Amino acid sequence: MGRHLALDQTQQALCVSPGQRLLSALEQVLPAGTALAVAWQDPVLGRHAHASQEASAGLAQLADDLLASRQLPAAAADGSMLHLWCDARGEACMALALLPPRDALLPSALGERVLAMAAKLFELALEHDRARARIASLEKSKQLQQALYEIADLAGADLEMQEMLRRLHRVIATLMYAENCYIVVYDDRSRTMRFLYFADQQDDYVADPERAFAEEDMPNSMTFALLRHGQPLRGPSEVLRQQLRIEAEALHGPDSLDWLGVPMRREDRVVGAIVVQSYDTPVTYTDEDRALLSYVAQHILVALERRQAHDALEQRIAQRTAELQRANAELQSEVVERVRAETLQKALYRITERSVTCPTQEDFYREVHGVVGGLMNARNFYIALVSEDGTTLHFVYSVDERDSMRVSRPLGRGVTEYVIRDARPMLASWDEVKALVARGEIQQGGSAPAHSWLGAPLLNGEDAFGAVVVQSYSPEESFTPDDLDLLVFVAHHLANGVARQRGQARLREAHSELEARVRARTYELAEANNALLQQISERMRAEQRLLHQATHDALTGLPNRAHLADKLTAAVEAARLRPEAAFAVLFLDLDRFKVVNDSIGHAAGDEMLMEVARRIIATADPNDVVARLGGDEFAIIAWCGAATERASVLAEQLLVQLGRPMQVAGRELFPAASIGIAHWHRRYSSGDELLRDADAAMYRAKAQGRDRSAVFDQVMRETALHSLELEADLRRAIIHDEFVPHYQPIVDMTDGRVIGHEALLRWQHERRGLLAPDAFIALGEDSGLIEQVDWLMYAQVVRRLAQQPKGYLSVNVSPRHFSSADFAERLLDLCRTHGADPAQLRLEITEVALLDDAPRTLRSLRTLREHGVLAQLDDFGTGFSALSYLHRFPLSVLKIDRSFVSGLDSDQPESFALVRAILALANTLGIETIAEGVETEHQRRALLGLGCRRGQGYLFGRPAPQLVN
C-alpha cells in the first residue's frame, strides 16, 4: 500500500501546473490588481488555461485565441499586453495576456522585460514538470515491472493455490488501491463461474473455489455482466447497474462507490475476471488504473493457468506413480507365478518325455512319483487304473508309510472310486471323508485314515479311467488348493502318458491285423474310386443346379433380376461398340393380378404366372432374353438392330397372346398386361437406367387405361426429371417443415352450425407457392415420403386441437401408415405430448386402407377407437370392395363422394338413388354420413330431403388456415 500512497503524493504535486506557478510569480512582481490570463499546451502535460481573479472572461479568451492562432495581433485597444512563447520544435506553447490597472500602467520596456521573464520562468517550470512526470512514469514502469516479476515468480513457486492468490492480491495492491479484490474463473460452455479468491472489508463471503455459480441463478450479478460484456467496466456500482440494466440484490454484496473489473481472455474467449472496488469517497479509479489492471490481469491469467497446469501435472505424476507401484507389485507377483509355472512346465515336460523313453510302465510310474515329489509332499502316493472291462481297480503303483501293499479290488464305493466316478479332483480332510461316508456316497475302507487326502482323475475326454492320489497322515502337513491345481496338471499329462503307452501296445497289435486288411481294402478302394467319381459328377451337376437356381426364378424357370442385370450390362456394352446390336427393354406388368391372388388364392396366381411365362417365351424371339423380376413383373430384352419398331410389334403380339382366355383352378380367366418400352440410346450409362425408363413407360400405359403398351419418350423423360426434382423439393420441404393445414368446416346443414373441420394438406413451396395435394400426393405415396409428410401435418393439427375447446378435427391417413404396428400408439403419444383430447380427433381413411392389410388395419382402428379416436370412410362408393368390410371395421362415418352429390344439382335419378342407398346402408349399420362437395343451395336441400344432415363443401366454406367458429 505504501508504494501506492507515494505515487498519489507525486501525482498531487504535479497538480500545480507550470501555468499556475507562472501566475503566482507574476502576481508577486506586478502591481496589485493586474489582470492575468495564461493558456498553454504540452505534448506530455496536456492543454490548460488559468486566470487571476481580476481577469475578465475576455482576457482569458484573448489568451486562448492567441494560443490557438500562435500569432501576435496588433496592439490591443484596451492596453492589454500579449506574449507568445513556443519551444524549438513548436510542440509546447504558452500565451500570456495581462492588463495592468488603470492607475498603474507599466512602461512598455518594463512590460517587455516582465513578459520575457515570464516566458523564461514558464519554460523552466515546464521542464521541471516534464522531468517529474518522467520520473513518475519511470516509477510506475518500475512498479509494474516488479509486479510482473513477482507474478511470474509466484506462478513457479511451490505454494498452495490460496497462498499464491493472496500474494497476487498484494502485488495488485502495489499498483492501485486493492483492499477489496476478488478473482473468478468462467466456463463459457456451462455458463458458470467459480470464485478462486475473495477479500473484502465489508463483505464476509468466504470463497469456495470448487463451487460453481450458474448464470441463470444470478441474473443481476455485476460479475456475470462483466463476463458477458467482455470489456473492462469502471464506475460506481449503482451507475454500472443502470448501464447494464440489472437490478440491485443484497445477496450480491454491498454497493461500492467505485468498482473496476477487467475480464481475463484466452484468445477470443473470456475465461475469468479480476475486480477491485472502493467503499471510500477519496479513492476512485482512473482510466490508467483500468488499463494497468487489464494488462496485469492477462499476466495473472498466465500465472493461474501455469499453476493449474502444474497442479494437474503433479496429480498425473501421483496417479502415474501409484499405477507404477501397482504394476510393480503385479510384475513381482507375475515373476513368482512365472517361476512356479516354469517349474511345473519342466515337471510336466519330464512326464511327457519319460512316457516315451521309459522301457516299462513301472519305470514310468516311478518317474511320475519323483516329479510329484518335487512339487509337493508325496511320501504317500499311488496310481490306480480301472480295468478295461470296468470291473476292477488296479493299484499299478503305490508307495505308502502305513500301507505297504495295495492289492487290486473289485470296483466299489471307496474314496478313490468316488473321484473316478465323479471325474473331478477332490481335496478332503478326514472329517470331510467321514461326512461323505455318513451321506452314503462312499464306504469306509480298511486303510489307515489320512489327515489330508488329495486325488485327481485320469481323464480320456470326459471319462475317467483312473486316479493319482497323494495323502498325509500328519496334522502338520495338509494339502492346499494350489497343490490340487498342480496334481490336476500332473494327472492330465499322466493320463496322456498312460494313454500313449496303451495306444502303442494296441498299435503293435493292430499293425499285423492292418497288413491283412490292407490287402482286402485295396480292392475296396478301387470300388470306392469309382463311387467317388460318380459323386464328383453328381456334385458338379448339383453346383450347376445351384447356379441355375441363383440366377433363375424358382417358379417359372426364367432368368431372375440378377441374371437380367448381367445380360443388360452385356447388351449395353455391345450396343456401344456395334450399332447393329441395338435393343429395347420391355417391362410387362399384369393388370389386376392382386385380385386373382386375393379371390382364388396364391396357388392359382402361381399357375397363372407360369402360363403367362410360357406365352411370353412362345411369343418372343428365341434370341430375346425373357426374365421374371418378381411378383407379376416380367422384362424382355428384345434385339432390334435397325428395326426399332420391332419392340412395339412384339408388345402388341404379347398383349394379344396374353389376352386369350386361360384355365386356372377350374376358372376361365382373361389376363391383361401393361407394357412399357425403352429403346437403347447412347445417353444410357447402365442397364438399370433402361429398366427404370421401361418401368416408367409401363406406368404410363396403366394410366392410359391398362391392356396396352407405351414407349418411353422425351415427354416421359421430362416428366421423370420433373418427378425427381419434385421429390428432391419434397425431401427438402420435409426437412424445413413447409407443410401447413387448411381447415374446411363440416356443418349441420339444418342450421349451418359448424361441428368440425377437415384438415387438408397444403405445401408452401419455396418457388411455386401454395400447392394442393394433387400436385405431390401421388409422388409422396410412390416414394414413401407421404408418411413423414403426414406426421408433420398431424403434429400441427394436434397442437391446434389442444387449443380448440369444442368440435373435432379430422385428418387424412395414407394406407401406408397401417403397415406400421406402432401407428396407433404413436398417434396417441402425440396427443398426450400436446395435451390434446383424442376424442376430438378423427381419421379419414379410404377403401384401399381397408383392403391392403385388413388384420393390421383393424387392430390399429380398434386401439384408436378405445381411446376415443373415430374413423371416417372417405370417398365412399368409389371403390369395389368396401361393402364387405363395413361390418368388420369400427367405422363411425361414411363420407358420400362428391361425384354423387354433384349429380343432385341436375336432379339425376341415378345420383338420388345412389345417395338414398348409401344413407339407407349407413342407417342400417348405425353409421353417420357426411356429404362431400356441397356447393349449391339446391344440393343442400336435396340432401336434407334424402335424410343427410351433415355436409362439407364450398357452400359452407373453402379450406383456410384458420378454423371457422
pLDDT-derived band at 162 (thresholds 50, 70, 90) equals: confident
Q: Is residue 110 part of a domain?
A: yes
pLDDT score for 5? 38
Q: What mean pLDDT comes out for the span 912-930?
A: 92
On the question of pLDDT at 832 being above 80, the answer is: yes
pLDDT score for 878? 66
494 and 565 co-located in one domain: no
Q: Is residue 346 part of a domain?
A: no
**What residues form DSSP beta bridges with 629?**
none
pLDDT score for 406? 81
CATH number of the domain within which 44 lies: 3.30.450
Query: CA–CA separation, 372 vs 490, rounded Å?
Result: 8
Of residues 917, 922, 925, 924, the one with CA closest to residue 950 = 922
391 and 311 co-located in one domain: no
pLDDT digits (tens, 9 = 90+) for 62-88: 888 888 888 887 666 566 788 888 887
* End position of a domain, from candidates 299, 315, 331: 315
pLDDT digits (tens, 9 = 90+) for 669-727: 888 999 999 999 998 999 999 999 999 899 889 888 888 999 988 777 777 778 888 88
Q: Is residue 189 part of a domain?
A: yes
On the question of pLDDT at 504 being above 80, the answer is: no
Q: Is residue 145 part of a domain?
A: no
753 and 902 co-located in one domain: yes
CATH number of the domain within which 632 lies: 3.30.70.270
488 and 636 co-located in one domain: no
pLDDT score for 477? 87
pLDDT score for 7? 40
Using an 8 Å Cβ cutoff, are 185 and 236 in contact? no
pLDDT-derived band at 529 (thresholds 50, 70, 90) equals: confident
Q: Is residue 537 part of a domain?
A: no
CB atoms within 10 A of CB 449: 13
The residue to which cell 394379344 is assigned: 656
Burial of residue 864, with CB atoms counted within 10 A of its CB: 0-12 exposed, 13-18 middle, 19 or more buried: buried
Query: CA–CA separation, 11 vs 891, rounded Å?
Result: 95
Query: CA–CA separation, 179 vs 176, rounded Å?
Result: 9
**What residues form DSSP beta bridges with 891?**
871
Residue 369 lies in domain: 358-507
Query: CA–CA separation, 697 vs 3, rounded Å?
Result: 95
CATH number of the domain within which 281 lies: 3.30.450.40
Percent of the chain past pLDDT 70, that is, above it, reads: 92
- In the chain, the number of structural domains is 5
445 and 592 co-located in one domain: no
Q: Is residue 533 part of a domain?
A: no
Q: What is the mean pLDDT of the chain?
A: 85
Q: Indicate the pTM of the whole model.
A: 0.40
Query: What is the torsion angle, in degrees rounded to the nearest 10, for the CA atoms of residue 850, residue 852, residue 858 and residue 863?
Result: -100
Q: Is residue 352 part of a domain?
A: no
pLDDT score for 11? 45
pLDDT digits (tens, 9 = 90+) for 260-291: 999 999 888 999 999 999 988 777 888 888 88
pLDDT score for 806? 84
* End position of a domain, from candidates 686, 712, 738: 712
Of residues 453, 480, 455, the one with CA closest to residue 467 = 455
Of residues 205, 252, 198, the one with CA closest to residue 224 = 252
CATH number of the domain within which 743 lies: 3.20.20.450
Percent of the chain past pLDDT 90, that is, above it, reads: 34
Distance from chain centroid for Cα 665: 56
Q: Is residue 335 part of a domain?
A: no
Q: Which of 140-149, 332-341, 771-780, 903-912 has the lowest mean pLDDT?
A: 140-149
797 and 932 co-located in one domain: yes
pLDDT-derived band at 3 (thresholds 50, 70, 90) equals: very low
Q: What is the DSSP letter of 557?
A: -
pLDDT digits (tens, 9 = 90+) for 349-408: 777 776 667 777 888 888 888 888 888 888 899 999 998 888 899 888 888 888 777 888
Vertex 845 angle, CA 842 and 850, to 5°: 130
pLDDT digits (tens, 9 = 90+) for 767-788: 999 999 988 888 888 888 999 9
Q: What mean pLDDT comes out for the span 930-944?
A: 95
Query: CA–CA separation, 606 vs 625, rounded Å?
Result: 21
On the question of pLDDT at 6 being above 50, the answer is: no
End-to-end CA distance of the chain: 78
C-alpha cell at position 658 = 396374353
On the question of pLDDT at 956 being above 60, the answer is: yes
